[in-house]
Structure 1
Amino acid sequence: MIIKAIAIDDESPALELLRKFVENVPFVHLEKTFTDPKEGLKYVFDHQPDLIFLDINMPALSGLEVAKIIQPLGKSFIFTTAHSDFAIQSYELQALDYLLKPFSFERFLTALNRAFQEIVRKKGEETSVFIKDSYDWVRVNLNEINFIKSDGNLLFIHTKTKTLSTRMTIPEILAILPKESMMRIHKSYVINLREVEKLEKHQVTIDHQTIPVANSHRESLENRLLKKS
C-alpha cells in the first residue's frame, strides 16, 4: 500500500525538506505541496489524499483551522511546526503526531510508520511497516514478529523467518507496534505475547529462545498472558 500525501506550509524551504524526506520512504507518495492553505483544502476535498502534513502558523487560515475543517472527512494528519505551544490542541484534534521543527528523518519516519498503521487500520488492510535493514527497506508484517532486542544504537527484530537490524529506539518501535499483542518486558526486550511458549519466574520462552523478564514487568506480563486484565 502506498500512502497518498500532501503538505501545506507557507514556507517553501519547509516543503522542500518534507519532499526530500518523503523521497526516502517507499510507502509514501507526496502528491502535491501548497503554500496557500485554502488551495490545499480544496485539493483535500477534490482528491481525498490519505495523509496531510500541516504547518500551524499560516496567514489567512491556521493549520488548526484546516484540521477542524477536514476532521469530518476522517483524514489522517500530522502537524509540522516550529512552535510547541499547540501540542495540546493538536491531540484534541486527534492529530497522528506533532513534529517540532527542525525534526530529524528518524523522527519523521516514526511519525510515518504510525500514520501507516492508522491508515491501513481504517482501510482494513494488512498491518505491516517498512523497516530500514542496513541499506534496504523491508516490509515487516507485525504479526510475524517474535521479539525485539535492543543492543546499543540498534534494534534487532526477530521474525518467524529472519532477523532485521535497524537504527531505532524501543520507544520509537513501540509507537508503531500493535499494543494488544506487543509488550515491553525488559529495558532491552519487546515481545509478541501471542508467541510466548513458556512463562517462568524471570524469563519467557519464544521460538526456543529464553528472554529475560524484569521484576517491574513480571506482574503485568502474567496478567496479560492469563488475560486477568
Structure 2
Amino acid sequence: MMTAIAIDDEPKAIQVIQHHISKMDSVMLLSHFYNAKDAMSFLKQNPVDLIFLDINMPHMSGLEMLNDLQLKPQVIFTTAYTEFAIESYDYNAIDYLLKPFEFDRFQMAIHKAEERINNLKKQKDFFFIKDGFKTIKIEFQDILFVKGSGNYLDIVTKEKKYTPRMTFVELIEKIPSSKFVRIHQSYLINILNIDKIENNKVYIGTHQIPISNRYKEGFFKRLNLE
C-alpha cells in the first residue's frame, strides 16, 4: 500500500481527497496540511511515497516546496490553475489534477502512481545509458557526481566520464534518492563517495564541487550536520 499526505490551503479540497481515498485500498493518507512548511516538517521524520500537492498557496507555493525538498516523494498536483501544467513536467509529476476532479479521474492518477512507485521499488543497483551508438551499464556505486548542462549530463564515475543526452529529471527517475543529493543547480553527488566538505565545497577524489546557498541547508540536513 502506498503512503501519502495531502497539502492544500483549502479545507474543502482536502476533504475531497480524503473522500476519494476512502474508496480505495491501494493508498493510505497519513496526514494532511494546510501549508507547505508544516508538511515539510512532517516529511523530515515521516517519508511517504506520494504527496497530493496544491500549487498556489500563501507563504510557500507547492513548486517552491518541491525545490526545497531533498528527498522528493512522487507528486500528484491538485490545482485550480491550468497555467502550471507545463511547468509541472519539470518536476516529473505523476499527474496534474484540475479542480474540481471527480473520483474516476482521481483513480486514474492513483493507478499511474502505483505503477511508477512499484517500478521504483524493483530498481536494481545499476541503470543503462545511451552513449553514442553504445548502451552502457553504470553501477550506482561507481558514480562520483553528475553535472548538468542543458539536455546533456556529465556522469563522472570512478573510471571515466559519460555524456548522455539526458536531463536531471530523467536521471532522478533512475537513481536511488537515498544515495544521491543535489548540492547545486548543476550538480548531483553520490553521498557515499564524499571525502570531505570544506569552504562550501564537496571534495570527491580530485574533484571540488560547489555547494550553492539554495541547496546547502537541505544537503547538511541529509548528512545530519544542521
Q: What residue in structure 2 maps to residue 32 of structure 1? A: 31
Determine whether 1:61 maps to 2:60.
Answer: yes
Match of residue 16 from structure 2: 17
Q: Secondary structure at the match of 1:86?
A: helix
Identity rate, percent: 42
Question: Which one scores higher on RCO, CA 8 angstroms, separation ≥ 6?
Answer: 2
Task: Give, as a single letter, the amino acid of the residue that structure 1 aligns with 2:110.
Answer: L
Letter in 1 for 2:101: F
- The aligned residue for residue 85 of structure 2 is 87
Radius of gyration: which is bigger?
Answer: 1
Letter of the structure 1 residue corresponding to residue 95 of structure 2: D
Corresponding letter in the other structure for 1:47: N
> For 1:181-220, what aligned pairs fall within 5 Å after superposition?
none
Whole-Å Cα distance in 1 between the matches of residues 29 and 76 of structure 2? Answer: 14
The aligned counterpart of 2:144 is none
Q: Which segments of 5 or more consecutive residues in structure 2 lack a partner in the other structure?
A: 124-226
Secondary structure of the corresponding residue to residue 52 of structure 1: strand
Q: Which runs of 5+ in 1 are unaligned?
A: 126-229
Q: How many residues align?
A: 123
Paired residue type of 2:111: N
1:67 to partner: Cα distance: 1.8
Question: d(CA) in 2 for partners of 1:74 and 1:117?
Answer: 17
Q: What is the deviation of 1:82?
A: 0.3
**One-letter code of the match for 1:108?**
F
Q: State the one-letter code of the partner of 2:23.
A: N
CA–CA distance in structure 1, aligned partners of residues 114 and 26 of structure 2: 8
1:15 is displaced (CA, Å) by: 0.1
The alpha carbon displacement at 1:66 in A equals: 1.2
Please show how residues 109-148 of structure 1 align to structure 2 within 5 Å: 109-124=107-122
Distance (Å, rounded) in 2 between the aligned partners of 1:91 and 1:41: 21
| Residue-by-residue CA offset, 1:116-139 (whole Å, 9 max, x unaligned) | 1111111118xxxxxxxxxxxxxx
Shift of 1:59: 0.4
Alpha-carbon distance, 1:69 to partner? 2.1
Give the TM-score normalised by the residue count of structure 2.
Answer: 0.53
Question: Shift of the alpha carbon at 1:24?
Answer: 0.4
Paired residue secondary structure (1:85): helix
Amino acid at match of 2:91: L
Residues 91-120 of structure 1: CA deviation (Å, up to 9, x unaligned) = 111111100001111010000000011111
* Separation in structure 1 between the aligned mates of residue 72 and residue 64 of structure 2, nearest angstrom: 15
CA RMSD of aligned residues (A): 1.2
> What's the CA shift for 1:74?
4.0
Gap change, CA 1:40 and 1:74, over 3 Å in 2: closer
How many angstroms does 1:90 deviate by? 0.5
- Aligned partner of residue 65 in structure 1, secondary structure: helix
TM-score norm. by structure 1 comes to 0.52
